[in-house]
Copies of this chain bind each other. A is one copy, B any other.
Amino acid sequence: METVSENRCFGGTQGVYTHASDATGGDMTFGLFLPDEASDGPVPLLWYLSGLTCTHENAMVKAGAQAWAAEQGIAVVFPDTSPRGEGVANHDDYDLGQGAGFYIDATQPPWSPHFKMQTYILEDLTRLLFNAFPLDEERQSITGHSMGGHGALTLAAKMPDRFRSASAFSPICNPTQSDWGKKQFAAYLGTIDAGKAHDATELAKTGALDTIPLLIDTGTDDQFADLLCTEALAQTLIARRADATIRLQKGYDHSYFFVSTFIEDHIAFHAEALWR
């Protein structure tokens, strides 16, 4: 692992690091905010998964998470959204290829050699983080924005014992029914149908999201509302009586101005689960 930068921030440290990943077969970059409390011993970890076109950097500089993570004594990791670099497949569309890993493991060429973001997050980066930093593996929660909201909800559904709580800002809720999903599942997995195993609404139908508290915020003026299919997930979670809070935030859109407005609430929500 190499340190790219470390900046003091809200009494803690905002770092950026690169490391070799077996899963993606190349170097990956991530941001990690460690609160001051980490100098005294392991602290809880909140995963923040970013959206289409983002790198590790967008949320790290724009979401304003550090102020509230510092207040709650919680670390936040900001992974990249895909493999990158020479020899890594790409596509001209902004929503396929680099910057659009969708937090799944591709099985189809040309994506399959590097696009293994699920394994990267859940195994490679996980191992590195808990080996290299004072983080408490028993206290993890997950959040994300847009494609990263899809990632947060689906990875939480897949790992019911790992994450104590999950939340999302304007998540892609039903990607097998959306142009943010159908194209990517077809490309990465061969069929749209194969994407059902990576679709928050489909997973919720099986009860996989019944066991942890959930918080979902989406703006009423989200310019991508039709692609998010929030209503499908809401219907499913409410029918199952899941421990879910779904809030439509009046007048807000899909931007980081929306995320930064409500991230205090999300971090407080996770803190309650993480410090229990």
Contact = CB atoms under 8 A, between A and B. Distances in A.
Interface of A: 7-11, 14, 61-62, 64, 66-67, 219, 221, 251-253, 255-258, 260-261, 264
B14 A257 contact: yes
A7 B260 contact: no
Dominant SS at the A interface? mixed
A252 B256 CA distance: 25
Contact of A9 (B7, B10, B257, B264): B257
Contacts of A62: 61-62
Contacts of A256: 61
A258 B61 CA distance: 12
Nearest to A253: B7
B219 A260 contact: no
30 contacts: A7-B252, A7-B253, A7-B255, A7-B257, A8-B219, A8-B221, A8-B251, A8-B252, A8-B253, A8-B257, A8-B261, A9-B257, A9-B258, A9-B261, A10-B261, A11-B261, A14-B257, A61-B61, A61-B62, A61-B256, A62-B62, A64-B64, A64-B67, A64-B260, A66-B260, A66-B261, A67-B67, A67-B260, A67-B261, A67-B264
Copies of this chain, tallied across the complex: 2
B61 A8 contact: no
Contacts of A260: 9-10, 64, 66-67
A62 B66 CA distance: 12
A225 to B, nearest CB: 14
Contacts of A221: 8
A226 B123 CA distance: 45
A9 B62 CA distance: 13
A180 to B, nearest CB: 21
Given A7-B258, A67-B261, 18 more contacts: A7-B252, A7-B255, A7-B257, A8-B219, A8-B251, A8-B258, A9-B257, A9-B258, A9-B260, A9-B261, A10-B261, A61-B62, A61-B256, A66-B257, A66-B261, A67-B67, A67-B260, A67-B264
Contacts of A257: 7-9, 14, 66
Nearest to A261: B10
A253 to B, nearest CB: 6
A73 to B, nearest CB: 16
